[in-house]
Structure 1
Amino acid sequence: MIYLEDLEVGQKASFGSYHVTRDEVIEFASKYDMQPFHLSDEAAAKTHFGRIAASGWHTCAMTMAMIATNVVETEQAGLGSPGVDELRWLKPVYPGDTLRIESEIVEVRPSRSKPDIGSFRTAVTVLNQVDVPVMTFTSIVLMRRRPE
């Protein structure tokens, strides 16, 4: 099990693989982001996207799927997240893209009020299959400390 004490500022990780499909882009947009350029080739062709593009929120959801898989596979003592900072959508994500994650821990901090937990911040970059960054954010994660 990985606990807060196992983390260090500067620690890097590279993980995940998420293939973006047209059906999933349209399904997500139909439910959560009905803007025409997420749903229609014709509408998307009239925009700077040029073709159907995934919603930025869908990109967040795909990223969370990769993060959650990594947390489970590496057996981390995570306790969820109070949020993210500085979320930026840098480039469109299109059907056919394959996403992956690179991260670097930028802060590790024990809690002052709860001695059994702490938090860490990670600079996260989501890249496509040609290593172009498509999204960045700083993740804030709560984590258990190693039991005595």
Structure 2
Amino acid sequence: MSQEPLFFDDLAVGDRFETGTHELSADDIKRFAGEFDPQPFHLDDEAARETIFGGLAASGWHTAAITMRLLVTGGPKLANGIVGAGGGIEWKTPARPGDILHVDSEVIELIPSRSRPDRGIVVMRSTTFNQRGEVVQVLTPKLMLARRAA
């Protein structure tokens, strides 16, 4: 990751960024679920075995939160931070206890603002993988990013 902040004008379609990793534990999964998504397949190993997940699975929102943390701490250093302006999220396979997650991001579109010349929208595809290379989540945010002063 570059130490210098990146502005809209510094990016090009196809630019790629990779984060560090985060290991997920059963305790982490249960703690997050207990506060934010208290469903049996996130809270109880035995109950989870009887669901479509077939075992304890992290909440998709937990995966999204880990993805955000990885992007903020090890993704592209954007000039004004990671400021969302919409987007989409897909959960492909559940994150499980012991999974080691990392995120690969690619710039897929750059949209200069017509009404605010000091900024633009960067569309990224941020794919969260586990240690087996399985896609856990695909996040496609639209990020508002400052342009360099003219």
TM-score for both structures, normalised by structure 1: 0.92
User: Which residue in 1 is equivalent to 2:87?
Assistant: 84
Alpha-carbon distance in structure 2 between the residues aligned to 1:78 and 1:131:
31
Q: Tell me which of 44, 50, 72 is aligned to 2:48.
A: 44
Deviation at 1:16, TM superposition (A): 2.6
The aligned residue for residue 65 of structure 1 is: 69
Unaligned runs of 5+ in 2: none
For residue 38 of structure 1, what is the amino acid of its counterpart? H
List aligned pairs for 1:1-148, cutoff 5 A: 1-70=5-74, 75-79=77-81, 80-85=83-88, 87-148=89-150
Provide the secondary structure at the position in 2 that maps to 1:115: coil
Displacement of 1:70 after TM fit? 2.7
SS at match of 2:95: coil
Q: How many residues align?
A: 145
Query: Within 2, Cα distance between the matches of 1:66 and 1:127?
Result: 12
Structure-2 separation of matches of 1:15 and 1:26:
25
The amino acid across from 2:42 in the alignment is H
For 1:117 and 1:14, the matched residues in 2 are separated by 24
Q: Deviations over 1:55-109 (max 9, x none)?
A: 00100001000111135xx542135111222x11110100110101111111112
- In 1, Cα distance between the equivalents of 2:74 and 2:114? 28
Contact kept in structure 1, 2:92 and 2:136, CA below 8 Å? yes
User: Any idea what SS the aligned residue of 2:67 has?
Assistant: helix
* Distance in structure 2 (CA, Å) of the matches to 1:2 and 1:37: 40
Mapped to 1, the partners of 2:101 and 2:80 lie a distance apart of 23
Structure 1 residue 48 displacement after superposition = 2.6
Distance 1:92 1:75 in 2: 28
Cα distance, 1:35 vs. partner? 0.6
Structure 1 unmatched runs, 5+: none
Identity %, equivalent residues: 39
TM-score under structure 2 length normalisation: 0.91
- 8 Å CA contact 2:49–2:55 kept in 1: the answer is yes
Runs of 4+ in 1 over 3 A off after TM superposition: none
